[in-house]
Amino acid sequence: MSESASRGKAVVLLSGGLDSATVLALAQAQDYQCYSMSFDYGQRHRAELDAAKALARAAGVVEHKVIGLDLDGMGGSALTDSSLAVPEQPQAGIPVTYVPARNTVFLSLALGWAEVLGAQDIFIGVNAVDYSGYPDCRPEFVHAFEQLANLATRAGVEEQPFRIQAPLQHLSKAEIVQAGSRLGVDYALTVSCYQADQLGQACGRCDSCRLRAEGFAAANMPDPTRYR
C-alpha cells in the first residue's frame, strides 16, 4: 500500500520481547507506517535492546529510536537493582520485577515522539491475561493514559486525538504466539528472559521464561528460546 493510502504513522513500543514483536507485526499488518521506540533504562536484561534493534531491522520500520533513562537510579525493582534477586518461583501479589511507573514513563515519551511525527496511534504490548500482575498492564491504565494524552498535548487539544492501542490486552500467551506466527514474526530474534545474558540466552526459571514457555506449549509450537 502506498504512503498516501496507508493508515498513517504509528509509534510502537518495542522492548525486544515476544509481545512487542507481535504488536509491531500487527500494526504493520494494518498498514501503519511504524516508528519503533525502545528504552535503555538500566535493565539487567540489556540483551533485549539488541533484540529490539534486530526486530526493527527485520520489520523494516521507518525509524527505530533507543532512549536512555536512569530508572536504575531510583531502584525499587529486581529488573533495575542488582541487589534484588529475580524470583524464580511464582509470587502472590505484584512481584518485585515490577518497575515503578515504567509504562507511564514509556508511554509519555512515545506520546512526545508521536506528537512530533504527527502520529495519532501508539501501540503497546501490555496484556491482562498471561502476565505478572503489573498494575500498568491493565485495561484501566491504558484507557486512563489515552485520556491523559488527549488532555496534555497540543494535538489532543486541537482535536487530533491520540489512540493508545493495546491489541494483545485480552489474549492469552498462546493466542499471541499464534497471531504473531501467522504474520511471520521470527520469535528466535526475541528475548523475554529477565536474566538474559549478553548473548540473549535465557535462564529458563524466571516468571517471564515460564510464561513464554507455557504459551508456546499451549499453542503447540516450538519455542526458539536459547537457554544458557
pLDDT level of residue 140 (50, 70, 90 thresholds): very high
Q: Give the predicted TM-score (pTM) of the model.
A: 0.95
- Compute the mean pLDDT over every residue in the chain, rounded to the nearest whole number: 94
102-139 residue pLDDT tens: 999 999 999 999 999 999 999 999 998 866 789 999 99
What is the torsion angle, in degrees rounded to the nearest 10, for the CA atoms of residue 54, residue 197, residue 185 and residue 35? -40
Q: How far is CA 116 from its chain centroid?
A: 21
The three cell numbers of residue 118 are 504527527
- Give the residue among 38, 50, 12, 13 at the shortest CA–CA distance from 226: 50
67-93 residue pLDDT tens: 999 999 999 999 999 999 999 988 788
pLDDT > 90 fraction of the chain, expressed in percent and rounded? 91
| Residue whose cell numbers read 486541537 | 158
Q: What is the mean pLDDT of residues 207-217?
A: 96
pLDDT of residue 25: 98
Distance CA 194, CA 200 (A): 10
How is 27-48 classified by DSSP, letter by letter?
HHHTT-EEEEEEEESS-S-THH
pLDDT > 70 fraction of the chain, expressed in percent and rounded? 96
167-200 residue pLDDT tens: 999 999 999 999 999 999 999 999 999 999 999 9
Asked whether residue 6 carries a pLDDT value surpassing 90, the answer given is no
pLDDT of residue 1: 40
pLDDT level of residue 5 (50, 70, 90 thresholds): low
